[in-house]
Structures are given as structure tokens and as C-alpha cells.
Amino acid sequence: MTSLDLKNVGKSFGGLQAIRDVSFTMASGEITGLIGPNGAGKSTLVNLITGLLKLSSGTITLDGQDIGTAPPEAVVRLGVARTFQNIRLLTDGTVLENVMIGYHRRETASILSGLLALPSSRAETAQLQDAAMEMLGRFEIGHLAHATAGALSYGHQRRVEMARAFATDPQILLLDEPVAGMNEAESESLGHLFRKLADSGVGILLIEHDVKFVSKLCHQVHVLDSGRIIASGTPDYVLKHPDVVAAYLGTDEFEGVA
Amino acid sequence: MMQFFTANQALFDFFLLSLGFAYSQQIVLRAGVFSIATVGFVAIGAYLAGYLVTKSEFGGLPAILAATLVAGLGGLLLSVPLSRLRGVFQAIATLAFVEIVLNALYYLEPYTGGAMGMNRIPKLVESWHLLIAVAIVIYVVWSIGRSGIGRAWDAIRQDETVAACLGVSIRKYHTLAFVLSGAIGGLFGAMQGLYFYTITPEQFGFAMVVSVLTTIVLGGRATLAGPIAGALILAVLPEIARPLAENRLFLHGAILLAVIIFVPDGVGDLLVHKLRQRRNGTGRNMIGGETS
């Protein structure tokens, strides 16, 4: 059982306080939702957790181990993987190559064996190729293994990115708007996939706009607005919370104008 | 056949040497490092091998190995400050490195012969030596393409942030690229030094930087075939264009422009991609990173 704990996390860019005093905990085997309007700081928070941005204040710990100051490659080695809001694949590579690089932290062949194509390096490449094919199967995109990643449809690219993140064998997976721009059927099938992943023991942080989608999948939802958590709890609870309604639909003054 | 070979031997050797330089250049570009330090490594290799052979008791092979080692070490040292830079800043800093090496060659006259260069170097390198060296380098580059190193480089080149988020240590793989580029540059520099009887600093100037880069632009920066195609074009082109005499440079520039506009990935890379597409259409394919 792994848990990711954020305590009083803050981030400022110059004078702009993008994240202030955010605290929450998420555990493996659960899907935790993080929702909030545009510009609330959701992606900034993901960048802080994965080490792409440096914390201004607070702590982030994984099972008690401080990862707040660790660089991205160290964070993923400890078991925290992510996808990007604006899908970032290696567009020139094939789908298989994209997923194979996800297994990088499993690689043990020495540099020398790689330079000389020694058996250990070749065996590793073959083994990772098989593992990647199996992973593609789990995400139902095995038939696309040899297609160029950049040429795929949006929905397939999302799946490739998730398969790649999942290849790092994470305990915690941060999905930044995974169903953005997808139709209902597509997001439904991804929802089933997330459920399966969570049941296999992975902790998923689902960052979304789509309130309906989140409330179907998550027991625990945090709502971020202007860099602060304004409500936490079950989907039913937070969606009725007056601050959340105000953040999403506007305040009374706005209604007064309408 | 044999007659053709002896008639064109100089051309063939020139092709092999530029192929070596091109791989030294390609390796850094492939790893997403915009370094043009290759010519600096080549100069170090050429002068060191020349010095060891003429001024001390070194034989050809030990001198070449020493030059390879020292240039590789030079790459390691260079990577320390330069791994912090990116893109055009890296290019400018590595160009400065080439200038520093060049100036050192002029100023260290007691060792390098200054502007007069180093003369009366015994010719210890023959065509088949060059062929062996090229074969070794091609084998290494081919191996890299089928290993985790090639996968890491391809990832870093395409998106450094993504590579880092997947656990790839950018610093480690950039350093490796610098070291290999230095070693390969030093190797072929040493072979050039022990091939032409004489070396002068101006051989390793900006013109050579441009020519090495041109090889990669023409041929391609991601596949094994890239440098081969580029070096072939650059070796054969002047021969074909011989009748054009003073318009040769014009033709050279026109072809470069045409390739940049119509085949931006380079001729060699384009061929490999076409072949791969055809193969994937019909059946099983080999997976080997970008290089094949």
C-alpha cells in the first residue's frame, strides 16, 4: 500500500501564487479525482509532484520519503508516473518504441553491452519488446504497434501515452485530463480501463474537467480553484458545495446579471 | 573492378574519412545535443597521433588508440559545462571549443609546428585500415540502435521532458554522446593525420565544421544510412561537377538547398523510412530504435 501525501504545498511564479497551501493524500488502489476550472493550477500541481517544477513551500512525500525536491527521473523511479494534458508522444517513433522507452527504469544492460550489441543488451531489447507488446494489448492498441505514433488519431495517442506511463510500473499514476476531447463511448471505455488499473493496485489521480466522468469513477474528489483546495470529499458532497458551484458556474453577482 | 578501385582510391579514402567524421557528428545530434565540436576532436586526434609518431617511439596503432582515448576524454570534459546548455547556445559554445583548439595549434608551436603545421609524418594508414575503422564504428552505431542507449537518445532528442519523466537520466546519456563523439572524431582525426604526410591548423577551421554538418544535413541525422548517403554525395559530387569548374560551389549550394527544402530529413533517412514503411506493410519488422 503506497500513499502520496501533499502537505501545505505552495508554488509561486514571481508574484503569482499559482498553488497555495494544498494538502491531500491519495493511496494505491484508489482513483482520486482532482477537478477545477481552467487555470486553477491542476497541471502545475502535477508538475510539482513529478519534479518538473520546484516547490516553493510545503512537502510531498511518497510513503514517507520526501520527493518534493527530487528530479523527474528520480520521481518516476520511485513509482510515480504521469501523462500530459497536451499528449506528448515521441511522434517520429513507432507506437512500440514509445512504449518500450517506458520500460527504461527496468533496463540493466551495461553501456558497454549496448555499444557492442552483447547478448545481455540484445536479450533485454527482445524482452522489453515482448513486454511492450503485451502492454499494448492491455490497452487494446496491439494492432497499432508498428504505426508511427504521430500519425495516430487523438484517442489512440492518449492510449499510447497511458500505456507508456504504465510501462514504468507505477504505484501512483497521474492522468492529466485523459478524456479531454473524447466522446462519451471513448471516455466510457477508458473509465473501465482506469477501474481495472486501480483494482490491480495502482493509485490513480484523475485530473479532469469532466465532472460527470470523475464522479462516476472516484470516491474521493478534491476541487482546486485559484490554486487552493476549496472542497474535498465524495463526488456528491463536493458537487453541491456552494464554493464549487460558484467556481464552476459563477457567483451570485454573475447570476444577478444573467 | 580492381582498376576502377585504384583509379578512385583517393576518392574512396576521402569518403571513408568523411564518413567517420560524420558519425562523430551524428551521434551527438541523435542524442539531442547540438554540438559541432567534432572538428575540434578531429584536430586533437590528428595532432596527437602525428606528434606521438614523429616525436616519440609510438607505432601507428598505439598512436591512433591514444588519440581516440584522449579525444574521448576531451568529450567527457567538454560535456561538464556544455550539458547545461541547449540548442543554439550549445552550438555556439562548441564552435568556441573548435576555435580554442585551433588557436592552441597555432600557439603551441614547439609541439604543433604552428602555422606551418606538422610535416614529414610517416604514412602509416592505408585504405584497409580506414575500412576497418569505419566497420567498427558502423557496428557500434548499429548496436546502439538496438540497445537501451539508442532508445534513450531517441527519446531525449524528441522530447527531453518526456524522457526525464520516464526515468531517463538526461545528463548520463548526453555525457555518453559527448564521449563517443569525441572518441570517434579523435579516431578518424588520427587516421587522417597518419594518412596525408602533413597537417596544418587551417584544415580544421570553420570550412570543415560546415562540411561535416553538411554531410549530416544531406544524409540524415537519425539512421545508420544517413552519414553514408551524405558522405557519398559529398565525395562524388565534386567529381561529377568537375566539368563545371568554377560553378562547382554554386552546384554544391544548390543541391544543399534542394535537399533542405525537399528532403528535410536527409536522403539516407528518407530511404530508410521508405523501406521500413514497405516492410511494415507486408509483414514482420525488426525493431531497432531509429537506426536500421
Q: Is residue A246 a contact partner of residue A231, using CB atoms and an 8 Å limit?
A: no
Q: Which three cell numbers stand for residue B1?
A: 573492378
Residue A13's Cβ-side half-sphere holds a number of Cα atoms within 13 Å equal to 8
Instruction: Name chain B contacts of A111, Cβ cutoff 8 Å.
Output: 149, 176
Instruction: Name chain B contacts of A82, Cβ cutoff 8 Å.
Output: 165
Cα–Cα distance for residue pair A34/B2, rounded to 1 Å? 73
**Contact (CB<8Å) B154/A97:** yes
Q: Where are the alpha helices (DSSP H) in chain B?
A: 2-7, 9-30, 38-55, 60-82, 87-107, 109-112, 127-145, 148-158, 160-165, 170-193, 206-219, 225-240, 248-262, 267-282
Rounded to a whole number of angstroms, the distance from the CA of B134 to the nearest CA of chain A is 14
**Contact (CB<8Å) A77/B167:** yes
* pLDDT confidence bin for A249, thresholds 50/70/90: confident
pLDDT digits (tens, 9 = 90+) for B105-135: 999 989 898 888 998 899 998 999 999 999 9
- State the amino acid at position A42 in one-letter form: K
For residue A232, list its beta bridge partners.
A222
Residues of A near B (Cβ–Cβ under 8 Å) read: 50, 52, 71-73, 76-77, 81-82, 84, 88-94, 96-97, 100-102, 104-105, 107, 109, 111, 113-117, 121-122, 124-125, 129, 146, 164, 168
Instruction: Name chain A contacts of B170, Cβ cutoff 8 Å.
Output: 73
pLDDT digits (tens, 9 = 90+) for B163-203: 999 999 999 999 999 999 999 999 999 999 999 999 999 99
Residue B4 has pLDDT above 90, yes or no: no
Mean pLDDT (chain B, rounded): 89
- pLDDT (0 to 100) of residue A257: 42
At residue A13, what are phi and psi to the nearest 5 degrees?
A: -105, 105
Strand order in the sheet with A80-82: A80-82, A172-176, A203-208, A31-35, A220-225, A228-233
**Contact (CB<8Å) A88/B287:** no
* pLDDT confidence bin for B289, thresholds 50/70/90: very low
Nearest to B216 by CA among B160, B269, B151: B269
Instruction: Name chain A contacts of B162, Cβ cutoff 8 Å.
Output: 84, 88-90
B169 touches chain A (CB under 8 A): yes
Q: Which three cell numbers stand for residue A113?
A: 553491452
* pLDDT confidence bin for B281, thresholds 50/70/90: low
Q: What one-character DSSP code corresponds to residue B199?
A: B
pLDDT digits (tens, 9 = 90+) for B51-78: 999 988 888 899 999 999 999 999 999 9
Rounded to a whole number of angstroms, the distance from the CA of B254 to the nearest CA of chain A is 28
pTM for this structure? 0.90
**Contact (CB<8Å) A84/B155:** no
Nearest to B192 by CA among B118, B271, B108, B258: B118
* pLDDT confidence bin for B286, thresholds 50/70/90: very low
pLDDT digits (tens, 9 = 90+) for A187-235: 888 899 899 999 999 999 999 877 888 988 998 999 999 999 999 999 9
From the candidates A77, A88, A146, A166, which should be mutated to test the interface with B, based on the most B CB atoms within 10 A?
A146
* pLDDT confidence bin for A253, thresholds 50/70/90: low
In a 3-state reduction of DSSP, which class is residue A196? helix
Q: Name the residue facing B164 among A73, A124, A146 (closest C-beta).
A: A73
**A-B C-beta contacts closer than 8 Å:** 110
Percent of chain B exceeding pLDDT 90 equals: 64
pLDDT digits (tens, 9 = 90+) for A54-67: 999 999 999 999 99
Cα–Cα distance for residue pair A74/B100, rounded to 1 Å? 37
Residue B204 has pLDDT above 90, yes or no: yes
Residue A254 has pLDDT above 80, yes or no: no
Instruction: Name chain A contacts of B140, Cβ cutoff 8 Å.
Output: 115-116
Q: Is residue B215 a contact partner of residue B204, using CB atoms and an 8 Å limit?
A: no
Nearest to A72 by CA among B160, B86, B174: B160
pLDDT digits (tens, 9 = 90+) for A71-99: 999 999 999 999 999 999 999 899 999 99
From the candidates B149, B160, B161, B165, which should be mutated to test the interface with A, based on the most A CB atoms within 10 A?
B165
Angstrom CA distances, A125 to B19, B81, B246, stand at: 28, 32, 52
B158 touches chain A (CB under 8 A): yes
Cα–Cα distance for residue pair B233/B226, rounded to 1 Å? 11
For residue A60, list its beta bridge partners.
A6
Strand pairing category for A3-13 and A172-176? unpaired
Q: What is the DSSP string of A27-81?
A: ETT-EEEEE--TTSSHHHHHHHHTTSS--SEEEEEETTEE-TT--HHHHHHTTEE
